[in-house]
Amino acid sequence: MEYFRPDVEKMDRGNLDSFIDERVRHTISYAVKHSPFYKNWFIEHKIKPESIKTHEDLRNLPIIDGNTMRKNQPPQTPEFMFKSVPWTDVYTIHETSGTSGIPKSFFLTWDDWNRYAEKYARIFKSQGLGKGDRMAVCASYGMNIGANTMTLAAQKTSVTVIPEGKCSFPLRVIRDYRPTIIIGSVFKLLRLAEKMNEGGVKPEDSGIEKLVVGGESFAPESRAYLDEVWGLKTYNTYGSTEGSMCGECTERAGLHVPEDLIHVDFYDTDMRDFVKDGDRGKMVLTTLVPEGKKAGTVLINYNTDDISRVISREECRCGRTHMRIENPRREAENFYISGIPLNRVDIESCVFQRENMEYLTGEYEAFLYCGITEDECILRVSMECRDPEKCDSDLVKNNFRNKLFSINPDFSEHYSEGDFDIIFNFVGKGELELFRLKGRPKRLVDRR
């Protein structure tokens, strides 16, 4: 097993916690000195910065979120209150849009880029990537940082990059350059496999040895099917402009958190208090700034709105000691039916039941509508078939319902009582509504 920073990645828990506490103290000091927002924030909340000595002390501080950031940047304020360096130290500027559509602004220094790249470099090493590998990156290059960060991480791990940006590249790229790794989303990689098969290139014979999935959460069932289609193992990564890069090692036993570079706590979804290990909650992120380094945007107790849980803080079989978390889900992708949360990933689990995949391509879209009364809800699910005339629709329907009811039995009760209904629609290839829309497709849409 190879490591990018073995001295840190294999540090025993006691020393690691002490190291984190040291970084927390420095981060608080840095924020007070350099962040206009936090200078005011500590005064406003009557918090003495010197009282924050350990990572446990962070739990006593208020939580901020994306709305906090939007209220502290133009046009709401004359200056970017979260910008923590002079303009001369800003290397790149990035935006991420929230549910309101108003972008949040992030400022990255070259130090930030090196830390971000190190997080991905650790992930790549933990997945067995290294010198001699050729990596096709099917993530967009632009205001989003994922593709650029992975490209920089590849340089640090001696991996050759093929910066495609999309998985719709011509098959000659695979024939001529023989990539050994492809990075993309589950659906991009499934479409690529279909394109390869149609072009006479079998995925299992292509020379590709690993798939790395990033950019969005996914169901275990869809990854298992992706593994089957390609005949190899898929590794999961997770990241954001805020710097929450985590990733699976070859054990695939949860995503390792680089605890010396980011601190993560979990708050209950009702935002009342922090939860214990093993319980799901919203990820609350603190960026940790090493002494002597610069950070363009410092975040302390930032609610990412992603939902996950601690799987373990014990040493992994790979030898890494940093904690592992569950694949995060976006709270923004939760919709509520009679108070019951329904997530896009839940729909995906139902679609990708293994028996279903004899008839389905995996492409789907789902919509929520009001019934006859406002208390009634209709879930309309459209699924793309390989051949609609040969699709065993009854089997697919039963598998879908059974899985959904097993995810949350309350859905079964509401279904039996008639205030929740599921309507199925089976279409041919390319006939889903999402194929006619530009931009990133929304798989679950609330039209109530």
Q: Using one digit for the tens of pLDDT, what is the confidence trace for 191-200?
A: 999 999 999 9
Q: Are 42 and 96 in contact (CB under 8 A)?
A: no
Which among 102-106, 204-208, 271-275, 311-315 has the top mean pLDDT? 311-315
CB atoms within 10 A of CB 307: 21
- Three-class SS of residue 303? strand
CA separation for the pair 417, 420 (Å, rounded): 8
Select from 327, 347, 366 the last residue of a domain.
Answer: 327
The CATH number of the domain holding residue 72 is 3.40.50.12780
Q: Using one digit for the tens of pLDDT, what is the confidence trace for 153-195?
A: 999 999 999 999 988 999 999 999 999 999 999 999 999 999 9
For residue 440, give the DSSP letter.
Answer: S
Residues 427, 319 share a domain: no
pLDDT band per the 50, 70, 90 thresholds, residue 277: very high
User: What is the CB-side half-sphere exposure of residue 278 using CA atoms within 13 A?
Assistant: 1
As a whole number of Å, the end-to-end CA separation of the chain is 51
* Interacting residues of 340 by C-beta distance below 8 A, sequence separation 6+: 408, 410, 411, 414
* Interacting residues of 350 by C-beta distance below 8 A, sequence separation 6+: 381, 399, 400, 401, 403, 404, 407
Query: Shortest CA distance to 212 belongs to which of 190, 189, 241, 231?
Result: 189
For residue 83, give the DSSP letter.
Answer: B
Segment 331-346 shows an average pLDDT of 91
Q: Are 224 and 178 in contact (CB under 8 A)?
A: no
CA separation for the pair 246, 19 (Å, rounded): 19
CA separation for the pair 109, 91 (Å, rounded): 5
pLDDT at residue 436 in the model: 82
Determine which of 1-10, 85-94, 211-220, 362-371 has the lowest per-residue pLDDT on average: 211-220
- How wide is the angle at C-alpha 280 spanned by C-alphas 276 and 282, nearest 5°? 100
CA separation for the pair 422, 247 (Å, rounded): 35
Q: Using one digit for the tens of pLDDT, what is the confidence trace for 16-50?
A: 999 999 999 999 999 999 999 999 999 999 999 99
CB atoms within 10 A of CB 29: 15
Question: Where do runs of H (alpha helix) occur along 330-374?
Answer: 344-351
Residues 212, 98 share a domain: yes
Residues 190, 162 share a domain: yes
Residues 363, 222 share a domain: no
Residues 304, 228 share a domain: yes
CA separation for the pair 215, 235 (Å, rounded): 12
Q: Are 382 and 366 in contact (CB under 8 A)?
A: yes
Select from 327, 357, 381 the last residue of a domain.
Answer: 327
Alpha carbon 315 to its chain centroid, in Å, reads 23
Single-letter amino acid code for the residue at 346: D
More confident residue, 139 or 36: 36
Segment 82-89 shows an average pLDDT of 98
Query: Shortest CA distance to 3 belongs to which of 126, 135, 158?
Result: 126
Residues 229, 136 share a domain: yes
- Our count of domains for the chain comes to 2
pLDDT band per the 50, 70, 90 thresholds, residue 438: confident
Residues 287, 355 share a domain: no
pLDDT at residue 439 in the model: 67
Average per-residue pLDDT for the chain = 94
Given a cut of 80, is residue 373 above it in pLDDT?
A: no
Residues 258, 233 share a domain: yes
pLDDT at residue 274 in the model: 93
Residues 165, 143 share a domain: yes
State pTM to two decimals.
0.91
pLDDT at residue 271 in the model: 78
Handedness of CA 440, 445, 447, 448 (dihedral sign): negative
Select from 279, 295, 327 the last residue of a domain.
Answer: 327
Residues 187, 61 share a domain: yes
Q: How far is CA 404 from CA 331, 344, 352, 401, in A?
A: 18, 12, 12, 5
Given a cut of 90, is residue 97 above it in pLDDT?
A: no
Residues 201, 349 share a domain: no
Residues 220, 98 share a domain: yes
CA separation for the pair 440, 315 (Å, rounded): 37
Q: Are 379 and 407 in contact (CB under 8 A)?
A: no
Which among 142-151, 214-223, 259-268 has the top mean pLDDT? 259-268
CA separation for the pair 137, 169 (Å, rounded): 11
- Three-class SS of residue 277? coil
Range of the domain at 109: 1-327
Segment 424-448 shows an average pLDDT of 87
The CATH number of the domain holding residue 354 is 3.30.300.30
Structure tokens at 404: 């959904």
Segment 420-431 shows an average pLDDT of 95
